[in-house]
A = this chain, B = another copy of it.
Amino acid sequence: MSKGKKVVITGVPGVGKTTVIDASMEALKAEGVAYTSINFGTCMFEVGCDQGIVNDRDEMRKLDQDVQRELQKTAAKVIARITDNTIIDTHCTVSTPAGYLAGLPSWVLEELKPDIIVLVETDEDQILKRRLSDTSRSRDMEGYVAIKDHQRYNRYMAASYSMLTGCTVKIVRNLDFLLENAVSEMVELLR
């Protein structure tokens, strides 16, 4: 049984992560390269539903810390069992009122064993503009410095993920008007 690549794709809100993933998947499909795409949070939620722990996503946030960690671990195990090439869509670091939270803490990494962690990044100013023009989501508004700090923190965090698991950390810049560059870098990585 051959094993596929496990590629974790991350980026701060407004960086255009979904756009890059979707366009890359399409390009890869045209080349005959198949990837299964999984959202880590959705996978955790489905595991929680299956186990009768939660009924809706709001309940996820209110879970006891130990229960939440067990759900994370189980979700990571479920994904690790997939033998296809897999993209895991999640956050490197989550910015919460209590500070930065590791999106992939050690107990998740040890189950998931990713091959590559991608940090989709762009200029802070572009992220700001994209967030301002996105009327569909009501996000807590962060300033330029907070976004810059968050993008940097993702790099620090990813370094420790790499130390623990041996995965590589690839930075893909998704600049305005240059989506095709980001996509072609991503396709080369995933091919």
Contact = CB atoms under 8 A, between A and B. Distances in A.
Interface of A: 69, 93, 96-102, 104-107, 109, 115-118, 149, 152-153, 155-157, 159-166, 168-171, 188-189
Given A105-B163, A155-B156, 6 more contacts: A93-B159, A96-B168, A99-B169, A100-B168, A153-B159, A160-B162
A170 B153 CA distance: 12
B166 A163 contact: no
Nearest to A106: B164
B116 A98 contact: yes
25 contacts: A69-B166, A93-B159, A93-B162, A97-B188, A98-B115, A98-B189, A99-B169, A99-B189, A100-B169, A101-B162, A101-B168, A102-B159, A102-B163, A102-B166, A105-B166, A106-B163, A106-B166, A109-B163, A149-B171, A153-B155, A155-B156, A157-B159, A159-B159, A160-B164, A161-B163
A90 to B, nearest CB: 14
- What are the 5 closest A-B residue pairs judged by CB atoms, nearest first? A99-B170, A99-B168, A156-B159, A160-B160, A160-B163
Nearest to A104: B163
